[in-house]
Amino acid sequence: MPHWSLNGSIYFITFCAKETVLYEGEQDIVLNHIKEGDGKYYDCYATIVMPDHVHLLLQPMEGITLSRIMHGIKGVSAHKINQYRNTKGSIWQEESFDRIVRDGNEFDEKLNYMYNNPIKKGLIEEPETYIGWWYNEEKCG
């Protein structure tokens, strides 16, 4: 599937687990890895790590492709999860879904969707208490 890219764009990205569920410790591994890349490879505005998928709002740094970013996020987090589980094998589906965020209204729409995702899935009642949620106040507010 082709992926559109446009320098300076913010992307809404979704990638899914492959035949597995991430438990709290594993979700924390993914979240921390995403946060580690913020400011180095991309500006991450928000992310939510769900038991079976991840959503991101991020902007690649100059000269770094979205493909490279996703390869790094998925590859390293899979390696860390496998170490944590003492297993081997794929954690993530090969394909990721991305969309260039067109304007501020769409950014807010995607941000609200992410924020409310754990409520919609029946995991919690208060989104800000969800262990897999990160809103980068430094970049957003």
For residue 16, tell me if it sits in a domain. yes
Rounded to the nearest 5°, which phi and psi values hold at 111? -60, -45
- Give dist(CA 81, CA 122) in Å, integer: 24
Residue 5 falls inside a structural domain: no
Domain count, the chain: 1
> How far apart (Å, rounded) are the C-alpha atoms in residues 93 and 122?
24
Distance from the Cα of residue 7 to its chain's centroid: 19
The verdict on residue 50 lying in a domain is yes
Residue 111 is part of which domain span? 11-140
Instruction: Check pLDDT > 60 for residue 1.
Output: no
Q: How confident is the model at residue 19 (pLDDT cuts 50, 70, 90)?
A: confident
Label residue 70 exposed, middle or buried (CB < 10 Å: 0-12, 13-18, 19+): buried
- Is 2 domain-assigned? no
Please check the confidence at residue 138 and state whether its pLDDT lies above 60: yes
What is the DSSP code (8-state) at residue 128? Answer: G
> What value does the mean pLDDT take over residues 101-129?
93
Judge whether 1 lies within some domain.
no
Q: Is residue 3 part of a domain?
A: no
Structural contact between residues 98 and 66, judged by C-beta atoms closer than 8 angstroms: yes
CATH of residue 58: 3.30.70.1290
